[in-house]
């Protein structure tokens, strides 16, 4: 991993924290941006290290903006840009100390938030709305919003504090009422694949809270930014992202009851942000698994909105193994870096989030775990 020494990045951290544009809850959050091009070559004529090159470039960009009085300072400081064909977006992120958990690596919530952030920045870069609700002009006119329907994340190697992660993302159609976003996560220093993710968003009427089909007008606004041919982060047949999540039946083996949303958990559409559900799911995991294993993959199906006044129960049970589907061997450049071992080393669990008072399903989940690596 590319490491950042704290003595060299004070200005960079301050600028990034002060200027980062808030993320969007959906797959789009559009504003046109000027891409930043940064060289990480250690053989620069000035003899700069990769970290010094980042800091030097950012200071130069700040000076240009101040001098010209035009453009967005946040846009200039982001280490991201569209691909040449305009159909995908890449951005580099530094793992901050407050984003690291008990394993001394970035938490799954941190990585999920980065996925949300890079998706939002991608959407801004193609020039749609600036209101943060990820909507096209037609969607705003009709009071339509995007809501998360499903997320699947696989992490093969967790980055540590000061590591630099490069994330690539792109969007495409997914059925008649939704869109799909995919992500590839790499070590920015080595190019090593460290994770993949995919998610589905569906269209909802903000006023009626009912799902709505993607109209031809909205589809035309989006298609220009979609690949002409399907491009999947998980191209393998029968991959984990496609696996159906069985309903967890009572009584659950483990539970954490009466969880309540904080104000900070609400997104710009006034419902609980999808990353919060990940934390709630993990709250009911048995402690012995948390102590000895790390999360390898998580899949969440979002079945209803969770609002600020809801009280939530988190339930977890071991996934039944009888008749379980097998995952085919993963090949190709996007292939998993983790081979399946025996069930003792890679336990799997089913999860359910429900409303405490009436038992309504909020979310179904499935997780796979692996033994923690020696550090």
Residues with catalytic roles: 269, 271, 306
Q: Which residues of 288-308 are buried (b: 16+ CB within 10 A; e: fewer)?
A: ebeeebbbbbbbbbbeeebee
Distance CA 341, CA 348 (A): 12
Angular region, 201: left φ>0, alpha ψ -120 to 50, beta rest:
beta
Distance CA 366, CA 269 (A): 26
Q: What angle do CA 103, 111, 258 make, to 5 degrees?
A: 80
Distance CA 3, CA 39 (A): 16
Distance CA 196, CA 234 (A): 8
Distance CA 78, CA 319 (A): 41
Q: What angle do CA 85, 89, 204 make, to 5 degrees?
A: 105
């Amino acid at each position: 991993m590319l490491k950042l020494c704290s003595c060299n990045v004070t200005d960079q951290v301050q600028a990034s924290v002060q200027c980062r544009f808030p993320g969007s809850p959906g797959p789009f959050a559009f504003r046109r941006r000027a891409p930043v091009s940064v060289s990480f070559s250690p053989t620069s004529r000035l003899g700069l290290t990769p970290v010094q090159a980042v800091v030097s470039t950012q200071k130069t960009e700040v000076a240009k903006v101040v001098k010209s009085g035009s453009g967005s300072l946040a846009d200039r400081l982001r280490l991201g840009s569209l691909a040449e064909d305009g159909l995908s977006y890449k951005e580099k992120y530094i793992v901050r100390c407050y984003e690291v958990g008990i394993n001394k690596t970035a938490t799954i919530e941190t990585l999920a938030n980065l996925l949300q952030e890079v998706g939002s920045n991608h959407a801004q870069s193609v020039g749609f709305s600036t209101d943060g609700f990820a909507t096209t002009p037609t969607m705003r006119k009709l009071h339509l919003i995007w809501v998360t329907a499903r997320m699947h994340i696989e992490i093969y190697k967790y980055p540590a504090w000061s590591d630099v992660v490069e994330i690539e993302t792109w969007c495409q159609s997914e059925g008649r009422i939704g869109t799909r976003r995919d992500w590839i996560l790499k070590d920015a220093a080595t190019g090593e694949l460290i994770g993949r993710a995919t998610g589905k968003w569906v269209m909802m009427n903000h006023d009626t809270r009912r799902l709505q089909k993607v109209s031809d007008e909205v589809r035309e606004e989006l298609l220009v930014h979609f690949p002409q041919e399907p491009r999947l982060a998980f191209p393998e047949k029968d991959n984990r992202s496609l696996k159906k999540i069985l309903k967890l039946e009572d009584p659950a083996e483990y539970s954490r009851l009466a969880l309540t949303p904080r104000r900070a958990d609400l997104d710009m559409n006034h419902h609980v942000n999808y990353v919060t559900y990940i934390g709630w799911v993990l709250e009911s995991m048995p402690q012995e698994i948390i102590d000895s294993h790390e999360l390898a993959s998580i899949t969440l199906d979002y079945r209803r909105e969770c609002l600020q006044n809801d009280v939530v129960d988190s339930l977890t049970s071991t996934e039944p193994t009888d008749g379980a589907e097998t995952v085919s061997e993963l090949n190709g450049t996007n292939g998993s870096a983790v081979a399946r071992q025996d069930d003792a080393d890679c336990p799997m669990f089913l999860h359910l989030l429900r409303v405490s008072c009436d038992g309504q399903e909020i979310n179904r989940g499935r997780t796979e775990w692996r033994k923690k690596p020696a550090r």
